[in-house]
């Protein structure tokens, strides 16, 4: 693992404007920079970078963070990969924390496999471009397929010469260990012999999301019926065919930008699409689609468009993957090419504009596609039609979102000319069956606290059929507590270290019981003032992330009597970093609108900071007291016989009224 000292040096050295400037064109805007969002198509800038705070915020998507989080969002690096990228940029030597001998050995094994794979990629590419055999056989094949030099370079295509051990000899000469040539599958070792796995094949390197070489796909160029047309690297510690999509590295930025991913079957389908200007495309490389592959796309977009060949057998095999996509809560559309055509051939025989227009005009929702496909088979057979309906409802049952399920049921009822009641009944049975199967897998099944129980969905769908009364979904109330808690965190982040003059009202009671109010002025840090108020009332935040941020702040306050916001911006918990960044950058949002240039005065919060602090605390108390009164009254409504001390309610109500007065509210 990367040491804490290295991480600290990376954060100290990295300049957010320099890092983002490599990917986004930034223009000066006051003390900040602004630019067009790299995550969406837009004409007006909504992307802001703050060199002072060393953070960024994309107001069009809500994303934000520091240098590391930008690389994770834009380049889709993991946390360690982003740190390593920055360390390389700023020439920082990476220190690793102490690892066990087993961990070191495993890490060295994997790293050696990556090094061998990268050498192989460079070697195959160089051989194809610079050797006579490579140019005559490998390069000429790709040229015949219509691939340009730019495309060949982009995908780092290559050729393995048709000799038993040409590549293996070259690798051993360069000092690479035969052990890793064998473990990556590049070399097949038998007794005292070794030979190249991919001899005589053109090579398609397979990249990880971050660009590392995981394995290869090789296509044979001879008419040998005994040899497989395509051959992939065998499973290894770095290559798992079911967990990678071909082209994901080259496509990830465009997938996120277009908010859609085209899914094809083969390597050349991906490459031809890129050459036609459609770069948000990946391939399952001839394997049946897996959940791991879908999750890769899910990191980039919620929308997948599956492209089917005109071949009927291929469609039947591929359509099974749609249910897997639906289970991941993703939106699926389908495009079918004409008979005898596949994405590669269609892209080559049509102009770029014709291809784009076809994809847009032919894309249809999965349910329409599935119905039209299966209706051809069912024709006028009632039994087959019933089976078709069950098949479609089964697909709908995979969708985790209840509202989407309902919409699809209604659409299915319209297309199939069948009662919604019948479809909801079938859906309810399938959902119940699914719940029971999940229960069998776990002796103590746990319900996601953020999701309603399964019975809720059952009742809602039964309500649609008139089987149960009610079933209405109450509108979600605005979470006042969360809003007020966020306001306190905002004040602490922005003004926690400010020293402010506060006024305290002291109530004095004389011997006759007459109350008088005196005023005391004093100075205090904003953070200390808020802490004293919340500590006095023993208040804890209901939002766990706000509570974690608050605890971290109080810890800093107790340690150094000062809040260090940078530590929260660079927090190891990305959720905390995201919230903190979002709050900090919201203060800079006005620069995007150029209010000063339009002579619109932006009033400084520092001018009314004492009131801001008091209002935030008083409002939080007011809502908490209101909830307490509601709880007491609810107890009475549930158990009328239960005695309740009305004096307590009276005291709470009186306190709430005094808070209203302090907040200058009219009740």
pLDDT computed for residue 461 by the predictor: 41
Q: Are 463 and 406 in contact (CB under 8 A)?
A: no
Residue 514 has pLDDT above 50, yes or no: yes
Angle subtended at Cα 261 by Cα 70 and Cα 316, rounded to the nearest 5 degrees:
150
pLDDT computed for residue 519 by the predictor: 76
| 184-201 average pLDDT score | 94
What residue spans of 132-264 are helical by DSSP H?
Answer: 132-133, 140-144, 149-154, 166-173, 178-183, 248-258
Ranges 379-388, 431-440, 591-600, most confident:
379-388
pLDDT computed for residue 435 by the predictor: 74
Handedness of CA 314, 320, 321, 322 (dihedral sign): positive
The pLDDT confidence band at residue 589, using thresholds 50, 70 and 90, is low
Residue 241 per-residue DSSP state = G
CA end-to-end distance (rounded Å), the chain: 59
Residue matched to tokens 């009033």 = 603
The pLDDT confidence band at residue 460, using thresholds 50, 70 and 90, is very low
pLDDT computed for residue 604 by the predictor: 61
* CA 205/CA 187 separation, integer angstroms: 16
pLDDT tens digits for range 267-309:
999 999 999 999 999 998 767 889 889 988 887 888 999 998 7
Instruction: Give me the chain's average pLDDT, please.
Output: 82
| 335-340 average pLDDT score | 88
**Of residues 80 and 128, more confidently modeled:** 128
Secondary element (H or E) of residue 458: helix 454-464
Task: Please give the class, per CATH, of domain 101-239.
Answer: alpha beta
The pLDDT confidence band at residue 473, using thresholds 50, 70 and 90, is very low
pLDDT tens digits for range 219-268:
999 888 888 899 999 999 999 999 899 999 999 888 888 889 999 989 99
* CA 273/CA 283 separation, integer angstroms: 11
The pLDDT confidence band at residue 375, using thresholds 50, 70 and 90, is confident
pLDDT computed for residue 625 by the predictor: 75
The pLDDT confidence band at residue 447, using thresholds 50, 70 and 90, is very low
**Of residues 196 and 54, more confidently modeled:** 196
pLDDT computed for residue 650 by the predictor: 58
Among 476-485, 539-548, 638-647, name the one with the lowest average pLDDT. 638-647
Please state whether the predicted TM-score (pTM) of the whole model is above 0.75.
no
**Of residues 131 and 322, more confidently modeled:** 131
State how far Cα 341 lies from the chain centre: 34
Residue 174 per-residue DSSP state = T
CATH of domain 4-89: 3.90.580.10
* CA 100/CA 365 separation, integer angstroms: 52
pLDDT computed for residue 317 by the predictor: 60
pLDDT computed for residue 263 by the predictor: 96
Ranges of each domain in the chain: 4-89, 101-239, 248-464, 480-563+603-619
The pLDDT confidence band at residue 470, using thresholds 50, 70 and 90, is very low
Retrieve residue 92's tokens: 């920082």
Residue 442 has pLDDT above 60, yes or no: no
The radius of gyration of the chain from alpha carbons, rounded to an integer in Å, stands at: 32
CATH of domain 248-464: 3.40.1360.10
Within 8 A by CB and 6+ apart from 435, the residues are: 454
């Amino acid at each position: 693992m990367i040491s804490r000292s290295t991480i600290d040096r990376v954060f100290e050295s990295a300049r957010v404007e320099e890092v983002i400037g490599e990917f986004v064109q930034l223009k000066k805007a006051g003390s900040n920079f602004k630019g067009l969002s790299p995550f969406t198509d837009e004409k007006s800038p909504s992307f802001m970078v703050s060199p002072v705070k060393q953070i960024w915020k994309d107001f069009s998507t809500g994303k934000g963070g520091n240098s590391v989080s930008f690389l994770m969002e834009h380049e889709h690096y993991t946390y360690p990969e982003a740190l390593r990228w920055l360390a390389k940029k700023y020439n920082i030597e990476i220190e690793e924390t102490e690892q066990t001998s087993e961990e070191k050995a495993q890490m060295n094994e994997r790293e050696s496999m990556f090094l061998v794979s990268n050498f192989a990629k460079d070697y195959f590419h160089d051989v194809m471009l610079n050797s006579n055999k490579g140019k005559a056989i490998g390069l000429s094949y790709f040229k015949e397929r219509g691939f340009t030099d730019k495309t060949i370079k982009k995908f780092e295509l290559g050729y393995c010469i048709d000799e038993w051990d040409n590549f293996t000899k070259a690798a051993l000469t360069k000092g690479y260990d035969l052990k890793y040539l064998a473990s990556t599958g590049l070399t097949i070792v038998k007794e005292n012999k070794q030979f190249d796995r991919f001899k005589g094949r053109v090579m398609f390197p397979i990249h990880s999301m971050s660009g590392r070489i995981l394995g290869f796909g090789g296509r044979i160029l001879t008419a040998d019926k005994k040899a497989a047309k395509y051959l992939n690297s065998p499973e290894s510690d770095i290559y798992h065919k079911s967990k990678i999509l071909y082209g994901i590295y080259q496509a990830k930025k465009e997938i996120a930008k277009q908010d859609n991913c085209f899914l094809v079957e083969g390597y050349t389908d991906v490459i031809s699409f890129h050459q036609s200007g459609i770069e948000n495309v990946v391939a399952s490389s001839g394997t049946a689609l897996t959940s791991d592959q879908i999750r890769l796309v899910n990191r980039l977009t919620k929308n997948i468009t599956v492209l089917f060949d005109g071949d009927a057998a291929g469609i039947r095999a591929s359509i099974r993957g749609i249910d897997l996509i639906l289970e991941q809560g993703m939106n699926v559309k389908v495009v079918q090419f004409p008979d005898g055509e596949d994405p590669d051939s269609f892209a080559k025989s049509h102009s770029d504009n014709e291809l784009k227009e076809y994809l847009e005009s032919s894309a249809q929702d999965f349910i329409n596609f599935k119905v039209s496909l299966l209706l051809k088979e069912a024709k006028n057979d009632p039994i087959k039609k019933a089976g078709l309906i069950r098949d479609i409802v089964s697909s709908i049952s995979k969708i985790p979102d209840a509202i989407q399920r309902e919409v699809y049921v209604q659409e299915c009822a319209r297309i199939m000319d069948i009662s919604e009641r019948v479809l909801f009944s079938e859906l309810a049975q399938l959902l119940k069956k699914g719940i029971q199967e999940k229960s069998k897998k776990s002796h103590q099944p746990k319900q996601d606290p953020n999701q309603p129980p399964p019975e809720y969905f059952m009742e809602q769908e039964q309500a649609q059929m008139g089987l149960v009364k009610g079933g209405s979904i109450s509108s979600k109330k605005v979470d006042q507590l969360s809003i007020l808690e966020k306001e306190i965190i905002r004040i602490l982040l922005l003004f926690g270290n400010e020293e402010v003059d506060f006024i305290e009202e002291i109530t004095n009671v004389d011997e006759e019981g007459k109350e008088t109010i005196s005023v005391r002025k004093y100075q205090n840090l904003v953070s200390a003032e808020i802490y004293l108020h919340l500590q006095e009332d023993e208040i804890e935040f209901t939002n766990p992330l706000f509570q974690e941020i608050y605890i971290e702040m109080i810890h800093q306050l107790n340690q150094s009597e000062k809040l260090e916001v940078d530590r929260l911006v660079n927090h190891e918990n990305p959720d905390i970093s995201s919230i903190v960044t979002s709050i900090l950058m919201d203060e800079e949002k006005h620069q995007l609108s150029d209010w000063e240039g339009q002579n619109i005065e932006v009033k400084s919060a520092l001018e009314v900071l004492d009131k801001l602090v008091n209002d935030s605390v008083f409002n939080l108390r007011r809502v908490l007291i209101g909830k307490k009164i509601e709880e007491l009254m609810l107890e009475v409504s549930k158990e009328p016989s239960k005695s309740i001390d009305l004096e307590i309610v009276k005291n709470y109500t009186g306190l709430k009224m005094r808070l209203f007065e302090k907040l200058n509210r009219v009740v």
